Amino acid sequence: MDHFAFASLAQIKILLVPVGSITKSFFEKRAAEIRSFDSIPLGDITVGDKDQRARLLPTTNTLATGYLHLSFPSHPPPESHLPLSLLRPSAFPLGVIGITSCSAETFEHTPTYFDGAVRDVISSEHVLPVSRVCFAFEEASDGAELNTSLLGVEVIPKMDTKQTKLHLGTLLASLCSRILIDLSDFVQNLESPIGNEYLNSGLFATLPPSQLPSALDPEQRSESPPSSHSQPELPTISNLRKSSTLKRTSSPGPTLPSLRQPTLSASASGKKRASGIGAASSHGRLFKVFGDSFLLAGRTEDAVVWYAEALAMFKGLPDPLWHASVLEGLATVPILEAWASGTGLDPWIDPAEKITQASSMYSKIIPGHDQDQQYPFLTYLYITCVLRHASLLYSVWSAKGWGPVAFTTLLNPGPTPHIPPTLIHPDQLSFVNLERLSINSGIKRSQISEVLSQAHGPWLLHLGSRERIAILQFIAATYGYLGYRRKEAYILRETIGCVMDLVVCGREHYDDYRLSSAKPVVIGQDALTPATGTLGVRESEPTEGNEGVVKLVKYVCKIHGVDLEAVNVVETGPEAIRPRHSWTRDEKLPEDDLPKEPIGWPELQIGIVREAIAVAEALPDYAAVAQFCLSALKNLHPVMTSTDQNQLYAGATRALTTTKRRGDSRTVEYWTGTPIVTIELTPLPFVRLPVEKSISLLQESDRSIGKTLAVTTDPFLYNPRRSLNSKGNLLVVQNENLEFQVTLRNPFVFDLELSSLSLSTSGVTFESKPIPVLVPANSFHPVLITGRALEAGNLVVRGCFVQAPNGLSREFGLPLSTEEEEDKLMKRKTAIACEYGRTKYSGLAAHPWERPTEKRASIIAPSSKKPAKPIRYMDFKVVPGLPLLRIRRTSLTHSAVMLYNGERSTIRITLENVSSLLIDYLNLTFDDSTMGPAQQALLEGELSVFDTYETEYDLIHRQVLTWDAENDKVEIPPGKMMTVTVSCFGKAGCTNGSIHISYAYSRQALGTDPPADNFYTRQLTYPVLVTVYHMLECYDMDILSHSGLNDRVGVGLPDASLEESEGYNWCLFSIEVRNTYGLPFEVTFERMDKGCAKSLPDSVVASTCRTVPPGSTSRIILPLRKLLLKEEHASRPIPSLSGRQFVVGKSKLSSEDVRLQRELFWYREELLKTIRGRWKEAGGSRSGDLSLRHQRLTKPMLHALRTDPIHVQMELLQQGDDEESRKIVNRRGGKFRAPPNEFLFLRIRIRNVSPADFISTASVFFEPEKHVIYQGILQGIPLGEVQNGETRELEMAICFVSCGSFELRAQVEILNAPRGEPAGSGHATVLVEDE
Amino acid sequence: MRKADAENKDIFLLDKTKAMSHHIFILSPTDTPLYSLTHYSSKPVQSTGSSLSSNLPSWSTSAFAGTLTALSGASSATQHHTSGGGGVRVGGGQDRHVIQMIANASLDAIEEVMRRDSAMYLKSVDKFNEWIVSAFVTAGNKDMKFIILHETKNDDGIKVFFNDLWELYVKTAMNPFHTAHTPIRSAVFDSRVRASAKKNL
Is B52 in contact with A378 (Cβ distance < 8 A)? yes
Question: Average of pLDDT values for A458-470?
Answer: 83
Q: Do B30 and A604 touch (CB under 8 A)?
A: no
Which chain B residues contact residue A457 at CB under 8 A? 50, 52-53, 72-73, 77, 129-130
B108 with A431: Cβ contact below 8 A: no
pLDDT of residue A762: 85
**Amino acid at position A675, single letter:** P
Phi/psi at A1293 (5° precision)? -90, 135
Whether residue B146 has pLDDT greater than 80: yes
Nearest CB to A371 within list B55, B97, B142: B55
Ordered DSSP codes for A219-266: GGGGSPPSSTTB-TT-THHHHHHHHHGGG--SPPPSSS-TTHHHHHTT
Interface test with B, best of A321, A486, A495 (most B CBs within 10 A): A486
**What was the pLDDT predicted at A587?**
45
B2-47+103-200 maps to which CATH number? 3.30.450.70
CB contact under 8 A, A598 and B101: no
Q: What is the pLDDT of residues A245-272, one digit of tens each?
A: 333 333 333 333 333 333 333 333 333 3
Q: Do B108 and A449 touch (CB under 8 A)?
A: yes
Least confident of A25-34, B181-190, B191-200: A25-34
The SS3 call for residue A1185 is strand
Residue A1073's SS3 state is: strand
Confidence of residue B13 (pLDDT cuts 50, 70, 90): very low
Q: Given B59, B112, B128, which is nearest A445 (Cβ)?
A: B112
- Is the Cβ–Cβ distance between A626 and A668 less than 8 Å? yes
Residue A1098: pLDDT above 70? no
Distance CA(A267)–CA(A273), nearest Å, equals: 7
**Rama region for A985: left / alpha / beta (φ>0; ψ in -120 to 50; rest):** beta
- Kindly determine whether residue A450 and residue B127, on different chains, have CB atoms separated by under 8 Å: yes
Instruction: With CB atoms and an 8 Å threshold, state whether B72 touches A490.
Output: no
Contact B97 A561 (CB under 8 A): no
Answer left, alpha or beta for residue A1052, where phi above 0 means left and psi between -120 and 50 means alpha: left
| B55 vs A contacts (CB less than 8 Å) | 371-372, 375
Interior angle at CA A688, CA A707 and CA A920, nearest 5: 60
Contacts of A498 in chain B (CB under 8 A): 64, 68
What is the per-residue pLDDT for A718? Answer: 65
Lowest mean pLDDT among A516-530, A726-740, A767-781, A888-902: A516-530
How near does any CA of chain B get to the CA of A802, in Å?
Answer: 34
**For position A398, what pLDDT does the model report?**
81
pLDDT band at A529 (very low <50, low <70, confident <90, very high): very low
Measured distance CA(B21)–CA(B154) in Å, rounded: 13
pLDDT digits (tens, 9 = 90+) for A536-579: 565 666 677 788 888 888 888 888 888 888 888 877 654 444 44
Higher pLDDT, A600 or A127: A600
CB-based contact B97:B68 (threshold 8 Å): no
Burial of residue A538, with CB atoms counted within 10 A of its CB: 0-12 exposed, 13-18 middle, 19 or more buried: exposed
Q: Which ipTM did the prediction report?
A: 0.86
Distance CA A377, CA A781 (A): 64
Instruction: Give A377-430 pLDDT, tens digit per residue.
Output: 888 888 888 888 888 888 888 888 777 777 777 776 655 555 666 666 666 667
Q: Domain A1032-1049+1060-1141+1150-1200: state its class.
A: mainly beta
pLDDT value at residue B148: 92
Judged by average pLDDT, the poorest of A372-386, A687-701, A751-765, A1294-1308 is A687-701
Give the one of A435, A479, A501 whose C-beta lies nearest to B65's C-beta. A501
| pLDDT (0 to 100) of residue A1141 | 59
Judge: A461–B107 Cβ closer than 8 Å, yes or no.
Answer: no
Which residue, A1252, A1226, A1266, is CA-closest to A1320?
Answer: A1252
Determine, for residues A486 and B108 on separate chains, whether the beta-carbon distance falls below 8 Å.
Answer: yes
| Helices marked H in A525-621 | 546-559, 602-618
Sign (positive/negative) of CA torsion B38, B41, B42, B46?
negative
B108 Cα to chain A: minimum distance (Å): 5
pLDDT (mean) for A909-924: 87
Residue B29 and residue A842: Cβ atoms within 8 Å?
A: yes
Give how far B164 is from chain A: nearest CA, Å: 24
Per-domain boundaries in chain B:
2-47+103-200
User: Given A449, A457, A501, which is nearest B109 (Cβ)?
Assistant: A449
Q: Is the pLDDT of residue B8 over 70?
A: no
- Computed over its alpha carbons, how large is the radius of gyration of chain B? 17
Cβ within 8 Å, pair A378-B115 = no
Query: What is the rounded distance in angstroms from the CA atom of residue A1068 to the CA atom of residue A1197?
Result: 10
Q: What is the structure's pLDDT at A373?
A: 67
CB B30 to CB A597 under 8 A? yes
Q: Do A498 and B50 touch (CB under 8 A)?
A: no
Mean pLDDT lowest for which of A509-513, B22-26, B186-190? A509-513
Are the beta carbons of B181 and A496 separated by less than 8 Å?
Answer: no
Mean pLDDT score across all residues of chain A: 75
The gap between the terminal CA atoms of chain B, to the nearest Å, is 17
Q: Is the CB of B74 less than 8 angstroms away from the CB of A843?
A: no
For residue A1039, list its beta bridge partners. Answer: A1069
Say yes or no for a CB contact (<8 Å) between B64 and A486: no
The whole-angstrom distance between residue A480's C-alpha and the CA centroid of its chain comes to: 35
| CATH class of the region A1204-1328 | mainly beta
- Are B125 and A446 inside 8 Å of each other by CB? yes
Domains A676-816 and A1032-1049+1060-1141+1150-1200 share a fold: yes
Contacts of A636 in chain B (CB under 8 A): none
- Per-chain mean pLDDT for chain B: 75
Q: Under an 8 A CB cutoff, do B64 and A497 touch?
A: yes
Phi-psi region at A600: left, alpha or beta (left = phi > 0; alpha = psi -120 to 50): left
DSSP secondary structure of A668-711? EPP-SS--EEEEEEPPPPGGG--EEEEGGGGT----HHHHHTGG
Q: What is residue A734's predicted lDDT score, i.e. its pLDDT?
A: 84
Find the range with the poorest average confidence among A176-180, A460-464, A755-759, B51-55. Answer: B51-55
Q: Of B109, B127, B143, which has the smallest distance from its Cβ to A842's Cβ?
A: B143
Measured between CA atoms, how close is A534 to chain B, in angstroms? Answer: 28
Please compute the mean of the pLDDT values over residues A227-245 and round it to a whole number: 36
B contacts of A483 (beta carbons < 8 Å): 108, 112
Contact of A110 with A153, CB cutoff 8 Å: yes
Instruction: Give residue A115's pLDDT band: very low, low, confident or very high (50, 70, 90).
Output: confident
* Side chain identity at residue A772, one-letter code: P
Residues B30-77 pLDDT 10s: 888 999 998 887 766 655 555 666 666 665 566 777 777 778 776 654
Over residues A677-699, the mean pLDDT reads: 80
Mutation for testing the B interface, residue in A429, A435, A437, A501 having most B CBs under 10 Å: A501
CB A836 within 8 A of CB B179: yes
Report which of residues B79 and A1218 the model is more confident about. A1218
pLDDT bracket for residue A178 (50, 70, 90): confident
Residue of A nearest to B52 (CA): A459
Question: What CATH number belongs to A885-1029?
Answer: 2.60.40.2310
Contacts of A449 in chain B (CB under 8 A): 108-109, 126
CB contact under 8 A, A494 and B179: no
Name the range with the highest mean pLDDT among A371-380, A991-1000, A1199-1208, A1319-1328: A991-1000
Instruction: Say whether B181 and A494 touch across the interface (CB within 8 A).
Output: no
Q: How close is the nearest chain B Cα to the Cα of A495, in Å?
A: 8
CATH architecture of the domain with range A676-816: Sandwich (2.60)
Catalogue the long-range contacts made by A850-859 (C-beta closer than 8 Å, 24 or more residues apart): A859/A827, A859/A828, A859/A831
Pick among B25, B61, B68 to test the A interface (most A CBs inside 10 A):
B68
Q: With 70 as the cut, is the pLDDT of residue A1131 above it?
A: yes
Amino acid of residue A834? C
From chain B, the residues in CB contact with A363 under 8 A are 50-52
* pLDDT tens by residue, A1000-1034: 887 776 666 666 777 888 888 889 999 998 888 88
Give pLDDT, residue B168: 92
Q: Does residue A232 register a pLDDT over 50?
A: no
CA dist A916 and A975 (Å) reads 7
Residue A453 amino acid letter: S
- pLDDT tens profile A1213-1228: 888 777 777 788 887 7
Whether A408 contacts A335, CB under 8 Å: no
Which of A431, A604, A839 shows the shortest C-beta gap to B142?
A839
The answer to whether residue A716 scores a pLDDT higher than 80 is no
| Count of positions (residues) in chain B | 201
pLDDT cut 70: percent of chain B above it: 69
Using an 8 Å Cβ cutoff, are A292 and A183 in contact?
no
CB distance B179–A372 less than 8 Å? Answer: no
Q: Least CB-CB distance to B72: which of A375, A456, A599?
A: A456
Per-residue DSSP letter, B17 = S
Beta carbons of A837 and B179 less than 8 Å apart: yes
**At residue B190, does pLDDT exceed 90?**
yes
Residue of A1240 and A725 predicted with greater confidence: A1240
Measured between beta carbons, the chain B residues lying within 8 angstroms of A504 are: 62-64
Q: How confident is the model at residue A962 (pLDDT cuts 50, 70, 90)?
A: confident
pLDDT of residue B147: 92
Closest CA to A845 of B120, B105, B29, B103: B29
Q: How far off is chain A from B101, nearest CA to CA, in Å?
A: 7
Residues of A in contact with B59 (CB under 8 A): 461
- Chain B residues within an 8 Å CB radius of A836: 179, 181
Task: Provide the H-helix boundaries in A765-896.
Answer: 819-835, 854-864
Question: In B, which residues are within 8 Å of A644 by CB distance?
Answer: none
d(CA A1001, CA A918): 6
For position A104, what pLDDT does the model report? 62
Pick A505's closest partner by Cβ from B30, B55, B60: B60
Percentage of chain A beyond pLDDT 70 is: 75
pLDDT of A862 higher than 80: no
Q: Which of A697, A682, A777, A691 is nearest to A733 (CA)?
A: A691
